[in-house]
Chains A and B, each alone.
Chain A
Amino acid sequence: MMVDEACLNEALLAGAAEVFETMIFMDIRESVEQEQHPKGDTFLGSITFKGDMEGCLGICCSVSCAKAIARNMLGMTEADELGEAEIADAMGEVANMVMGSFKSRAQKTVGNLNVSIPTVVRGRALDASLGEHASRIVINVNIADEHTAELSLLYRQGSG
């Protein structure tokens, strides 16, 4: 299967934009700066998929960005208490919804995909890996002109 990387890139960014605008009420746009992987303490929400193509979609951002995302999703203010579990759950749902939105946009390119339950980890220098023979798309985005995040898509041809 020939995969059009530009199509995947566009579907990932458009899918994430739809989720952030509709469910998180924050605008995102691709960063013009060549930023590095998020530094310091971060959350990584990821979801794997299998099918005509297999791989992993992830969103990685600082803890403060993850808190802002969770607060906006839940309609909370800065004064409301937000636990670690709530932040992680919100980041997992973001990965899940971005995956769904990406999948519906890229279906002609990627074919049928079965997705996993999302997973979330917190730590430093977090990165997903598929081992050898995998391609990687990374998009750095600005969120509400206050935060930055990294969208990533690792993929390779699947077993069908």
Chain B
Amino acid sequence: MAKSIMIVDDSATMRKIIMKTVRAAELDIGETREAGNGAEALEKLKASAVDIMLCDINMPEMTGPELVKKVRELASCAKTKIIMVSTETAQGIVDDVLASGANGYISKPFTPEKFKEKLTPLLN
């Protein structure tokens, strides 16, 4: 069954690129949603959960890790898999976002192959 996905990034360009890359990875993705910030993402997730959330780390107002913690408080999103997508590669930061409740991490720049490798286990 196709999985639903939400892309959270303050850059509209990056949201489009991630969407394009996910499509190019030929994954079994159904419904796709976007949010330009953490608050918008939370509103949309409260209305309806998704299977996978791809989330930036450095965002204004609410950072990625702050959003992850709030999503983890939503009972409806208990099964939502969260993958951080960011230029941050410092091990300390990656460890922190995983500790905050994220399930994985993809670093920018990325390729369709990298998305396939990280997302395929979550889709099965």
Contacts and interface: CB of A to CB of B under 8 A. Distances in A.
Interface residues of A, number: 27
Q: Helix, strand, loop or mixed for chain B's interface?
A: loop
Contact of B12 (A19, A86, A101, A112): A86
Interface stretch (A34-42, A70-78, A130-138, A149-157): A70-78
A90 interface: yes
Contact of A117 (B12, B58, B111): B58
Interface string B96-124: 00000000000111110000000000000
A104 interface: yes
A75 B20 contact: yes
Contacts, number: 64
Interface residues of B, number: 22
A115 B58 contact: yes
Contact of B108 (A97, A115, A117): A97
Contacts of B16: 74
Interface stretch (B41-49, B64-72, B76-84, B87-95): B87-95
A22 B89 CA distance: 17
Nearest to B114: A22
23 contacts: A18-B109, A19-B109, A22-B110, A22-B111, A86-B12, A86-B13, A89-B11, A89-B13, A93-B14, A96-B87, A96-B108, A97-B87, A97-B108, A100-B86, A100-B88, A100-B108, A103-B89, A103-B90, A107-B90, A113-B90, A115-B58, A117-B10, A117-B60
